[in-house]
Structure 1
Amino acid sequence: MKRNHLNDFLVEQIKNKDSQIEGLNQLISSLIEKIESLEKNICSYENLVKELRDTINLLNKRLYGSKSEKSHSENSERTYNGEKLGSKGTYPKEKIEEKPDKKSNPRKAYKRPERRTYDDIEEKIEILEPDAEELIGAKFVRSEKSFRLYMIPAKIVKVIYDRRIYAKDGHLIMPKLPYTPEEFYRRHADPSLMAGILTNKFLYHLPIHRQLNMFVNAGAKIARSTLYDWCGTAIDALEGLYYSIRSEVLKGNYLNIDETTISVIDEDVHHAKKEYMWGLVNTRSKLTFFAYEDGSRSRNVISNILESYIGTIQTDGYSAYKSIGENENNKIQRLSCLSHIRRKFLESRDNDRENSEKALGIIDKIYRLERFFRKQKFHPDKIREYRIRYVVPIFHKFKNWLEKSISNPKILDETLIGKAISYAYREFKALTLIFDDGFFKADNNAAERAMRPCKLGMNNYLFFGNHESARRGAIIYTIIESCKLNGINVFEYLTDVFSREPQPGETYDMFLPNRWNQ
């Protein structure tokens, strides 16, 4: 009997908790509706204020003339003897002295921003003294310091190593030259020069022919073919590091993946063709790598890359990603991208503004919450908790709106708004995976940001000369973008990597950008 009473008591407690949860959900829904109504009221008030300002400006123009400065001021007011007139042009009454309200917050005094000191820049101190004749009989009072920023243009120095060779016990004693990779032995280029060429081209997007002019101005006339040869040689020396970064990225359980188009010269037909480069970002380890497989965008390329991968990938709605998420024996789950969904509705605004704005309004609410979570630097567990509490109701509302819109006969599937709604509905289920882990992002922008420099480079050097050049581009972009994710100076990093002599038992793992100089 006691056990039955206990079971009844527990059932009653569960029912009470369920009713409380239901009441809280209703309260949240009502609050969301109130927020929406308040936002609409704010918009209407803003429009009213704008109309009133336009009316005031029009009346000022009629009163003072269109060329008067007063007619161009939005908040212009009529005055008499330096005093403001009333709203109807009446003269002001005598001023009544009022005691200031202690609760009111007076405007804060202007605080001049602190002058930048540029502490990270190399310093050189020069002591300036007056003329010697003026110092006769003078007494030192104080020292005043000020600074100016000087610029030293790029300079190339020819270093001649004069090695002194000695003989002892029938053997020659010869000092070693500073270390350079084996690929550099027959080239008159120091690691710093190789690092500078790669940094200029792939970080600052300066094509080789522009760098030629820079070298000429620095006093070094180098043939274009020589620079191209040095560039390729330096990238080949980084291939082992590239594969180490690639392996480290694939160890993570959450990847952002995207692909982008590049132009590559087809050597058979001698013109540029549109090819594809893939990019994968591990936001946990702050590493990224690019992959180029003869310009292919097929499912086989990304399947081979993710052959041994286990975890979550976040992508757009490209069919190759979707098939991987569905057919990889539950090893890989796919999280969709809210940014791509939003982009479809932005494109459909000219087609159906009302429905597009409705969808964009819901998506913007999600993004506002996401920005708040990141700005407050909440722990991922806290973000997951807040998402379930505050974002889930918005998702339910979005899903209900999508279902109603799909069944709406007035919205045709062939229209832009119809395609946007269909895309969002197909991607909705995969988007709900963000509630599994607070570290997951709502969009795939990390991969798009990583691949953006590749497109910027194409605007300057236009194309890769062949498939081999594109593959080298994937290697160097992997290293540069990984350095940028870790806030590393790319030139210093590459110079150090080229200059370090391998030691027994040493691997490329110590050169990974997220472990460099630790």
Structure 2
Amino acid sequence: MLENTIDKDELIRQLMADRDRLFQENSRLRSSQNMTPEKAQQAYKEQLAAKDTIINKKEALLEKKEARIAQLEKQVDYLKRQLYGGKSERYINPDPQARQLELFEGVDLLPGEKEAAAKAEKEIRSGKEARARRMEKAKKTAVRKALPENLERKIEHVYPEGYNPEEWDLLDGKEPLYTEVLIKEPAKFYVLRTYRHKAIRKADHVIVMADCPVKPIAKSYASSSLLADLMVDMYVDHIPFYRQHKQFERSGIKIPEPTILGWFQEVSGLLMPLHFRLWELMKKTDYLQCDETTLPVVRSDKHKTVKGYLWLVRDPMCGRQYFYWDKGSRSGEVVLKLFSGYQGALQTDGYERYELLDGKKGVILLSCWAHARRKFSDAIKNDKERAESALEQIQLLYEVERQIKDQALSFEDAAKLRVRLAYPIMVRFEKWLVAEHARVIKGSPIEKAILYTYNRFNKLSRYHLDGRYNIDNNGIENAARPVAVGRKNYLFCQNDDTAESTAIIYSFMGCCKAAGVDFRTWMIYFLDHVHDYDEDYTKDIADLLPDNLKAVGLL
């Protein structure tokens, strides 16, 4: 018996298909015999046209699929980098001996511009080598740091096995060896009961009763320390309130979850006037950075969670941060409303809504070189030679910034160094962008990177005019990281009020971090003194800002 039996039904289907094909071909031949030569030629042309149409459709479909494949490959590469690759965007040439400047040799530069760029590059590279030698010389072997001296130390003694004071003598004059371990004990809760006594003055027989201590939240048993810990656990350590509720239960303290949420709203309400005052002071400066990040919020009318946007403004000079929530909107109306009346430089990413401010009198827009660098990093697989050449030039600009930081230059000297070293590099780079755009494939990643950089080049190059300006927006992106970590834990805000309260808390958490002040310590001080400003309008509530309290030695 054969191992592979013949499928009779399949054989019949094949025979019928072949017969049908032969019948159709025979019919076509018969009809062509009856045609005139003109009709036969016309039929032949129609067949060719039909075939061309089919081929064109297939080619268009193939191009569409190839574009989709390239897009998916780019997404896969990005996700692989996020999962397994390094997150640093700083470009490091894998082969320091290989030069990426060949493409720059053909740029149409004026003799003076070419000479200035070459001279600046040579000085930048020599400074980089000198800094690398200093760093190599300063490297030391890592040593484990001792435990802080300010911690309480409890002493215990361990003696040799079989030690008896009557039979053994300790070796006097030699300090015994010791080891230290760090001990942690659970948090301690206690209740402070305050008795208010009445007394009568003998002179006039007036009865006086001690005043009730002012509480942060009226008619509440929550102390400043408890409220501060709730905020720290939620927004610094990213422990949602429902998990804190479970922690209290494990400690034998039962605080209803709605009570905790109510305290949170009360604390944010106390912080709101200071939040308004913070923004008033920041708008009076002449250099700010702005960015936005997502914050999911529940919409009761839609019965689902939607993506809202939390705006962040940072003062690079003092580090103050201001988070702003406007019903989750990311529209241009928010940009105009937020920066209404502002006069000065504003550094942003490539979001087009900020362009609404470009024409306003007194506002100067600065762009971010890190975003431009990111575009060329994404284009390396598309055009390795051009992308790495561009990254090499951007790296020279960043090397100038490292020299400024390493030498601790003043703002005035930093601007002079940028004019002398960074500006010639940018002139050469801009002309390279113009020349190379005509040679790359339209719609390719390298073309998008070139267009992105060239369209913003005037805003990218403005940073060299003032030593205070930063080369990129990385400072504000780092300030937005607590929001990214937090939303992975508490997932979403229950409504717009909660999102606005979240913005307020994040604002002062960022201000504390920038001022080098412990957030819990500041929060306790604020809650203990905020009611001092309830009726005395001669006081400025800005005195309670973290950096101001630190400046006068209260924190």
Q: TM-score, normalised by structure 2?
A: 0.70
Q: CA deviation at 1:244?
A: 1.7
Q: 1:211 aligns with which of 230, 244, 247?
A: 244
Partner letter of residue 424 of structure 2?
P
The alpha-carbon distance between structure 1 residues 199 and 33, as it changes in their structure 2 partners (threshold 3 A), is closer
Q: Which residue of 1 aligns with 2:311?
A: 278
Q: Secondary structure at the match of 2:322?
A: strand
1:241 aligned to 2:274?
Answer: yes
- The aligned counterpart of 1:388 is 419
2:507 paired with 1:475 = no
Q: 1:502 is paired with a residue of what secondary structure? A: helix
- CA shift at 1:480, angstroms? 0.3
Q: Does 1:221 find its partner at 2:251?
A: no
For 2:280 and 2:226, locate their aligned partners in 1 and report how far apart those are by CA, in whole Å: 29
CA–CA distance in 2 between the matches of 1:352 and 1:138?
76
Return the offset for 1:459.
Answer: 0.5
C-alpha separation between the residues in 2 aligned to 1:507 and 1:351? 57
Cα separation, 2, equivalents of 1:338 and 1:137:
72
- Aligned match of 2:449: 420
Secondary structure at the counterpart of residue 449 of structure 2: helix
Conserved? CA contact 1:265–1:463, under 8 Å: yes
* Cα pair distance change 1:222/1:406, threshold 3 Å: same
Between stretches 121-130 and 171-180, larger displacement belongs to 121-130
Q: 1:427 to 1:116 in 2, by over 3 A?
A: same
- Contact kept? 2:124, 2:421, Cα under 8 Å: no
Structure 1 position 289 matched with structure 2 position 327? no
AA at the equivalent of 2:500:
R
Contact 1:207 1:460 in 2 (8 A): yes
Q: Is the 8 A contact 2:124 2:396 kept in 1?
A: no
1:397 to 413, 428, 434: 428
Matched to 1:275, the amino acid is G
**Residue in 1 aligned with 2:210?**
175
* Residue range with higher mean Cα deviation, 495-504 or 361-370: 495-504
* Contact 1:253–1:311 under 8 Å retained in 2: yes
Residue aligning to 1:41:
none
Number of aligned residue pairs: 422
Is 1:359 the counterpart of 2:403? The answer is no
> Match of 2:306, SS?
strand
Task: Work out the CA distance in 2 between the residues paired with 1:135 and 1:283.
Answer: 70
Whether the 8 Å contact between 1:279 and 1:289 is mirrored in structure 2 is: yes
Judged with a 3 Å threshold, the aligned counterparts in structure 2 of structure 1 residues 250 and 197 are, in CA distance, closer, same or farther, namely: same
2:334 pairs with one of 297, 301, 317:
301
What is the DSSP-based 3-state SS (H/G/I as helix, E as strand, rest coil) of the residue aligned with 1:364? helix
Structure richer in helix, relative to its length: 2
Compute the RMSD of aligned alpha carbons. 2.9
Q: Partners of 1:454 and 1:174 in 2: how far apart?
A: 47
Unaligned runs of 5+ in 1: 1-21, 39-107
Deviations 1:385-425 (A, max 9, x none): 111111112101210110012222x420x222221111100
Instruction: Name stretches of at least 5 consecutive residues in structure 2 with no aligned partner.
Output: 1-109, 127-136
CA–CA distance in structure 2, aligned partners of residues 493 and 135 of structure 1: 58
2:120/2:422 contact within 8 Å kept:
no
Amino acid at match of 1:445: N
Q: Secondary structure at the match of 2:342?
A: coil
Report the Cα offset of residue 126 of structure 1.
3.7
Alignment deviations for residues 77-121 of structure 1 (CA, whole Å, 9 cap, x no partner): xxxxxxxxxxxxxxxxxxxxxxxxxxxxxxx9x987665333364
Listed one character per residue, the Cα deviations across residues 464-492 of structure 1 (whole Å, up to 9, x for unaligned) are: 10111111111111000111111110001
> What is the TM-score normalised by the length of structure 1?
0.75
Matches within 5 A, 1:114-125: 116-119=145-148, 121-125=150-154
Q: Is contact 1:258–1:447 with CA below 8 Å preserved after alignment?
A: yes
Secondary structure of 2:548's counterpart equals coil
Q: Does 1:450 align with 2:450?
A: no
Is the 1:244–1:509 contact (alpha carbons within 8 Å) kept by the matching residues of 2?
yes
CA deviation map 1:121-169 (0-9, x unaligned): 4324547597995599879646656533211222222222233333445
Residue pairs, 1:174-193, within 5 angstroms: 174-181=209-216, 184-193=217-226
Larger Rg: 2
1:502 is matched with 532
2:356 maps to a residue whose letter is S
Give the secondary-structure state (helix, strand or coil) at the position aligned to 2:313.
strand
Equivalent residues of 1:336, 1:431 under 8 A apart = yes
**1:430 paired residue number:** 459
Amino acid at match of 2:387: S
Return the letter of the residue paired with 1:378.
L
Change (3 A) 1:138 1:452: closer
- % identity of equivalent residues: 28
Separation of aligned partners in 2, 1:137 and 1:399? 83
Q: Is the 8 A contact 1:252 1:284 kept in 2?
A: no
* Residues 412 and 466, structure 2, Cα contact 8 Å, conserved in 1: yes
The answer as to whether partners of 1:286 and 1:514 remain within 8 angstroms in 2 is: no
The whole-number CA distance in structure 2 between the counterparts of 1:232 and 1:341 is 41
CA contact (8 A) 1:313 1:333 kept: yes
Q: 1:252 touches 1:311 (CA, 8 Å); kept in 2?
A: yes
Question: 8 Å contact 2:290–2:346 — kept in the other structure?
Answer: yes
Contact 2:121 2:425 in 1 (8 A): no
Q: Distance in 1 between matches of 2:436 and 2:170?
A: 89
Give the direction of change, closer, same or farther, for the CA distance of 1:457–1:148 in structure 2 (3 Å limit): same
Tell me, in whole angstroms, the C-alpha distance in 1 between the residues paired with 2:140 and 2:457: 49
Inter-CA distance 177–440: structure 2 relative to 1 (3 Å threshold): same
Q: Partner amino acid for 2:532?
A: P
Q: Is the 8 A contact 2:325 2:499 kept in 1?
A: yes
The answer to whether 1:376 aligns with 2:411 is: no
Aligned to 2:53: none
Alpha-carbon shift at residue 350 of structure 1 (Å): 2.6
Structure 1 residues 160 and 290, CA gap change in structure 2 (3 angstroms)? same
